[in-house]
Each structure stands twice: as structure tokens, then as C-alpha cells.
Chains A and B, each alone.
Chain A
């Protein structure tokens, strides 16, 4: 669009014209504040390495790296296999149940990895129903038969793959849908069979999408704490926890975090590059495509391939959780549970509202500056917490807030008779700040997309009709952005509900949320009791899945 490119070329001078200065200042201030945690972590490598660090480096660091890499490799293979096969079949063929599976395959996204891990552990453990049934049926005892150990690195790979494949499925499916079917038809007409067409034409064309989906899944894998901790697999996140809570060395924890950050940055770079390539891989005009209806055994093969991830990634663990709830509901729905719900909801709601508010300010300021490079730079800086594991952000929030607390405390001690104690670092303030740092990008993404739908001539009209920038925002933009604002708030809300490690590290003493309680109960081997908070989390997790489902359906309708 001509107008927007004209905007982009505006000089810096224009930022300070027309009283845009105030908005721009807000943008810079938000970006600066929210980038402190990540910068703190990144700079921690410059600090002198302590004895704790040397101890870590000589003993466990190599196992953290190996385990993290093995996890990533396994999850990459798992999500690729499940995600790509389901995307291809639901996109290209018609078979029984396809229409339902198309969206139902997203359901595992509602299941946090640590919760599916609890469900499978309960089902597959020695005392679980399956092994008991084996022992009873074949009349064997412990050690007489081989059974895979779920609480292992391999088990973790399976858990992650089952709940993270939808990232690959979603993006790759969109890529297959937008691929020109003409190139597939050309391949068939040149004598390639369906399989060869798939791996020689369709798959390479969708490669950037596959890589983008897999990197998202791997970021989640790296960020996980609940699953690997429960399965006893030592990775960076468990290491950071141990270094802080066990050894009490915050600097070493930060240095360990910076290692993890390096891996994340690597993934972000790969993802960004793939996203760019995706634009070039949009070949030709899309025509409406008539899916061939499969017959005979092929249709049942397709059905099975697509139903298994759904079954193991959502239905079976959900049933397990539900059975546990049935078993324990009389005791578990007590006053304490409702306090948990209240805590979780109020934390999530506050974080969601603040994230939406800040995202609106950030996006609108950038828009006022004509989305020029400088403004977009600060917008990106404010969402730096994107993809940074909660553990890392928690440490990054803790260090500056603790320093602030100490500063205030020592000032008060030397100048007054008050003792301040922990004003920020040990309170919900720290928790909320960490959530904002981590999840602002979620709300920014949604609201930025909303803003991009509004042509700049709308702004210009409102301005010439006598509204100041704030008036344009309140009277024109916000009403037009209603859907985006709600979606942004909901997405942050659900992410906070599911969040575990940040809350664990930063929460005030004895303050519990649903996620933390589920984690504590599971750690105490009270899996059945953990099911009630767990199922509450899964139920809220369904909200964004339905939002996604709606956009998916909207997209397929518009074609």
C-alpha cells in the first residue's frame, strides 16, 4: 500500500511533531522496563563465576546440555511425524470423521505437558491399572516382565510430542491448504505416485512451515519445568531451580539461565528465517480443491493415523483425570480448592488486563509513529520475553527486584527506624511483572493483527474531524478492535492459568494457584488429588483451542 510505505519513511523528526512525543515516550518506557529481566540474564555471563558455577560446570552442566538436546531431538521427530501426517491426511483426503478430526486434533493443546505426564504416570505406573491388569492376567510379579518406564527421558519425549504436535499440525496444515494444488497435479501428471508427490513436492514446499512449527514446539519443550522435574530428567530448567532453591546462588542460576537463553535465541532465529521463507513458498493462486474420498482400507488407515494423536494426546489422559476426580471429588472440592480457583482467576485476570492495556499502548504508539523502524524496534524489545522460559524470566525479575528491595531497605535503615523487608520481590507484584514480561507478546500479536486490519485513512479521517490521538484510539480504534482485545485477554488469561515455573519461583510464601497445587500434589504422589486442579486447568485451556478453531473455520470459509 502506497500510504503505509509513505508512513514508514517518515523521519524521526515527525515523531516529535504533532505531540506524538508523549506516546513515543510511553513506548520506549515500556520497552525499557520489560526488557530488564532478559537483559539481566544476558549480562549475567559477565559476572565473575562463583564456586557454585564451577561446581555445576564440572558435574551436572554437561548432563543438562545432553538431556536438553536429546529431548529436543526426540520432540522434533515426534511432533514432525504426528503433525505432518495428520496435516497431510486431513488436508488432502476425505475419510470418515475428517471434519471433526480437523479441529479435534488441536485439543491436546489444552493439555499442559506436566498434566498429561501426571495422567500417564498414574495409568502406567507399577500400581496403575495397566500393570495391575498384566500381573493379574498373566499371573506374574514385579521384575518378571518388561514394561517401559514412563518416568524417563523417553517418556518425556512422548509426553511433549503428544501435546505439542498441534503447533506443527496447525502451521503445516495452513501451508498445505495454501499450496497450489496445481503443483501437485503437475507432479502426478509427470508420473509421480501419491507418495513420491508428497515427499518430493508437497513436503519440500511446506518445509519452512514445518520448521516454524517445530521450533515453536521446541521452545515449549525448553521452557518446561513441570514434566522434566516430575520425570526426574535433569535439564536447564530443573538445574536453575536447584541452583536457586537448593544452593541459593542467584548469580549462578542467572548464568545457567543465560545458557538456556542462548538455545532459545537460536530457535527464535531459525523460526524467524522460516517464517520469512514461508512467504516465498506461497506459490501461485489457490483454487478450490475437491478432496478425493478414500475407500477400502486406505480410509481406515487415514482415520487411525489421525485419531491416535487425539486419543493419546487428549481423550485418554482426560478420561484418566476425570476418573480420578470422580474418585476424589467429595474431598477435593473444598474451600481450599475454591481459594485456589480464586487465586488463579484473579492473577490471570489482572495479568490479562494489564497485558491488553500495555499492548494497546505499545501498538498504538508504534502506529502513531507510522510503524517506522525505530518504533517497531521498541515494540519488539517490549515483547522480548516471547519464548523465554518462565524459569529464566523469574530469575531475571528476581535479581533487579531484590536489588531494589535491598536498596530501599538499607536506605530506610540508615535514615529511619522502619524495616521494609521485601516490598517487591516476595510479593504478587513480582509474579505479575513476570507474567507481563512473558506474555505481553501474546497480547501484542493479537492486537497488532487487529490494528493491521484498520487502514490508516481511518486514523486520518478521525484526526481531520477534530480528534486527538487519544480520541482516535478511544472512539475509533478500540470499538473496531473489540474482538482482538477479547482474544488477546483470553489468550493471556489461559497462559497464566497454565503457568507453573514462574509462579513457583516468585510466589509469596504459601500462595497457591491451581497449577502450583497440582504440581505439589503430584510431587507428593497424590495424583488422584492433583486431578481436580489439573482438570480445571485443562478446561480453561480449551478456550484458546476454540478460538483457534473459529479462525480456522473462518479461513476455510473465505476460500
Chain B
């Protein structure tokens, strides 16, 4: 394991923010902490970097123990690379010198060779003598990335590195950075609150809420196989509807009876997750619901439909399916992969 967080707990002053957190990352794997602001994801990352002491537990990095309750190895001795939200480029140093900053342990020739290689890779060779303020946001971000990976760290930590950039660029940039990291077989952790960014970037994503790791999984599984209702609500759009098991293989939902293969007991109260793409527009269908709200998104329409029970469900249609609020929308349901939770509440 390149990185192991073994049962770590973190506090600010008297407040415990993370309690008994576990996570393991293999070499070359790209992980992501996804969660709302204040969920503790940044703090965990700072603990990995050595900026935050542990209350208990242990962090090991590339086989050595770097943080325990008694001991915090200084950040400068950890071989951790960091890319910050504001990039944190040194304003008094040129692009070249920024990238070379962490290479003082290398002989000069070797250091400058590595700088040149990285400059080439991030396509900024022509700008190497410039200073950070002379670069665009995207260029600064690339310099920050090159600077962080130049010393070949054991792990690269990225703290919301795309959030200060134009939102239309984020996903494609995340993809580009991912390719770059894969090329160096770099182990990395991205911290973000943006799931599209997380999905484009990471091999495995951890959904974190209130300092707790709710699920550590591939982007596909997070969306299609959420382990619990919190993950289901946080990842993707959708609503949870009340349902009841009729017998061990069928569920009575507000949208009709659905076959389902999981261990159900008759009469069990359930919640089923309905995604907007589960409800499909079909002019021929007799199943009709009243439109209570609609949102034109250019390439698609998001309708909100009200069921006889009063529950509102989302439905995505093609962009030219144009109905007014108050009209009826004919739909069919595609619930073959219905996600079902036992209703604990």
C-alpha cells in the first residue's frame, strides 16, 4: 500500500472532526475525497501532508509511519506534493525557478533537465522566464502541478485545484491532469466537492460526510450502487420514494410494482432511489403525471412531475420535448436496476 490511514482521528481544539477513519491507496492509484465543505476532507488531506497532528491512529506513506498520536513527521521530510486551490506559486520566482524549488537535493544539471522535461510536458517551455502574475489561471495551475510533481513525491495531494478555473474547463482539465499523473504512475488524492470533477479524475472516490467515509468505490458504483441513502442523495440527482415489499421479489412503489432480486421480507418498508433517467418520456404511454416545474438546460429538459401521492419526481427528456407547467407528461419507467434501501427511519 502506498498510503494507509489506519483508524485516524483528528480534532480542532476541542472539536473532534474525524473519528476512526480508514483508507488505503495502492501505488499509482488516483483517489478522491468527495464531500460538502466542512466535512473534514481537507483536514484529512492536511494530516497526510503533515500539517495536522493525529489524535489517534496512524498514517503510513510508502511503507513508513509518518504520523501517530505521539509523532508527526515534518511536512518537508514526507515526500508529499501539494497543489492548492490558489496555486500558491511563489510570486518572486520565475516559472522555471518555481518548478525547480523542490529540487535542491539534485545536482544542477539533473534538476534543470527535469524542469525542462516538465515545462515541455505542460507546454510552457516558451514561458519559463515569466513570473506567475504574467500567466493565465490555467497556466498557473499547470505550473503548480509541475512544481508539485517535480521532486517525484510518494503521493500528490490536490486541494480543489480546479475550483478557481472556468467551470466549462474543469472537467477537461481534470481529465488532462489525470493523464499526466498516470504517465508518471503517480499516486494522488484529489479533494473536491464537485462530483463531475471527481468522476473525471479518480479511479476511486470516497464520499465523506461529517468526517465519515460513507463509501470508497469506483465512480460507476457510487452512482449505480450506492451503499446507503446518504451516498445516493449526494451523488447524482434523484429522489427517494417510500415503497413496500409485496413479497420476496417484488416492490410496490408509487410508480407501480417492480420486480427486484434482493432479500426482501413481505411488508418491509423501503426507500427506492429514482434517478431522472429512470423516468422516460413516451408519448404512447398511458402513465401521465402533471408537470409542476421545468428547467430548460439547453441539451435537455428537466421536468418535475407530481405523483397522485403528492411526491415529486424528476424526469429528463430531450430538449425539444416542450410542455408547459400544469400539462400532463406521458412517461414510462425504466426500473430494472432499481436501488432499494431498507427504511430505517
If A464-B81, A466-B151 touch, does A18 touch B72 (CB 8 Å cutoff)? Answer: yes
Cβ of B183 within 8 Å of any chain A Cβ, yes or no, is: no
Q: Which residues of B contact A475 (CB under 8 A)?
A: 101
B window 150-208: CB within 8 A of A: 151, 153
**Is B75's CB under 8 angstroms from A18's CB?**
yes
* Docked CA distance A464–B102 (Å): 8
Decide yes or no whether A287 CB sits under 8 A from chain B: no
Query: B29 to nearest A CB, angstroms?
Result: 20
Does B84 lie within 8 Å of A18, measured CB to CB?
Answer: no
Q: B43 in the interface, Cβ–Cβ < 8 Å? A: yes
Minimum C-beta distance from A554 to chain B (A): 17
Q: Count B-side interface residues using an 8 Å CB cutoff.
A: 37
- Interface stretch (choices A5-13, A255-263, A315-323, A488-496): A5-13
Residues 87-110 of B, flagged 1 when their CB comes within 8 A of A and 0 if not, give: 010111000000001101100000
- Taking the nearest CB of chain A, how far is it from the CB of B55, in angstroms? 9
Report whether A458 and B49 are in contact in the complex, using a CB–CB cutoff of 8 Å: no
Say whether, besides A11-B11, A17-B72, A465 and B147 are in contact (CB < 8 Å).
yes
A175 to chain B, nearest CB (A): 31
Q: How far is the CA of A267 from the CA of B73 in the complex (A)?
A: 47
Q: Kindly state the separation between the CA atoms of A9 and B51 in the bound complex, as whole angstroms.
A: 13
Point out the residues of chain A lying under 8 angstroms from B37, CB to CB: 2
Contact B76 A460 (CB under 8 A): no
Contact of A466 among B51, B72, B105 (CB under 8 A): B105
How far in angstroms is the closest Cβ of chain B from A171?
30
B323 within 8 A of A: no
A6 touches B43 (CB 8 A): yes
In the complex, which residues of chain B have a beta carbon less than 8 angstroms from the beta carbon of A13? 53
Please tell me if the beta carbons of B84 and A460 are within 8 angstroms of each other in the complex: yes
Q: A17-B53, A460-B49, A460-B82 are in contact. Are A466 and B90 (CB under 8 A)?
A: no
Q: Is B23 positioned at the interface, with any CB of A under 8 Å from its CB?
A: no
- Contact check: which of B11, B46, B102 meets A465 at CB < 8 Å? B102
A143 within 8 A of B: no
Q: Known contacts A10-B12, A479-B92; is A464 also within 8 Å of B72 by CB?
A: no
* Interface flags, B204-231, vs A, CB<8A=1, else 0: 0000000000000000000000000000
> Is B151 touching A465 in the complex (CB atoms < 8 A)?
yes
Complex Cα gap A458–B15 (Å): 27
Give the residues from 52 to 79 in chain B that come closer than 8 angstroms, CB to CB, to chain A: 52-53, 72, 74-78
Q: Is the CB of A276 closer than 8 A to any CB of chain B?
A: no
Task: Determine the distance from Cα of A149 to Cα of B153 in the docked complex, in whole angstroms.
Answer: 78
Using known A-B contacts A460-B49, A460-B88, A476-B90, determine if residue A466 contacts B12 with beta carbons closer than 8 Å.
no
Contacts A6-B43, A457-B85 given; indicate if A468 touches B90 (C-beta within 8 A).
no
User: Are A468 and B74 in contact, with the CB atoms below 8 A?
Assistant: yes
Indicate whether B232 reaches chain A with its CB closer than 8 angstroms: no
Scan A1-30; emit 1 where CB is below 8 A from any B CB, else 0.
010001001110110011100000000000
CB A460 to nearest CB in B, in angstroms, measures 6
A149-177 with Cβ < 8 A to chain B = none
* Complex contact A463–B84 (CB within 8 A): no
A432-472 interface with B by 8 A CB criterion:
455, 457-458, 460-468, 471
Chain A positions within 8 Å of B90 at CB level: 458, 461-462, 476, 480
Are B148's CB and A464's CB within 8 A? yes
Name B's A-contacting residues (CB within 8 A).
11-13, 15, 37, 42-43, 46, 49-53, 72, 74-78, 80-82, 84-86, 88, 90-92, 101-102, 104-105, 147-148, 151, 153
In the complex, given contacts A10-B13, A18-B72, A464-B148, what are 4 additional A-B residue pairs having Cβ atoms less than 8 angstroms apart? A460-B75, A464-B49, A465-B147, A466-B151
Q: List 6 A-B contacts (CB under 8 A).
A: A19-B74, A457-B85, A461-B90, A462-B90, A466-B104, A466-B151
**Ordered nearest first, which 5 A-B pairs have the shortest CB separation?**
A465-B102, A457-B88, A9-B12, A463-B75, A457-B84
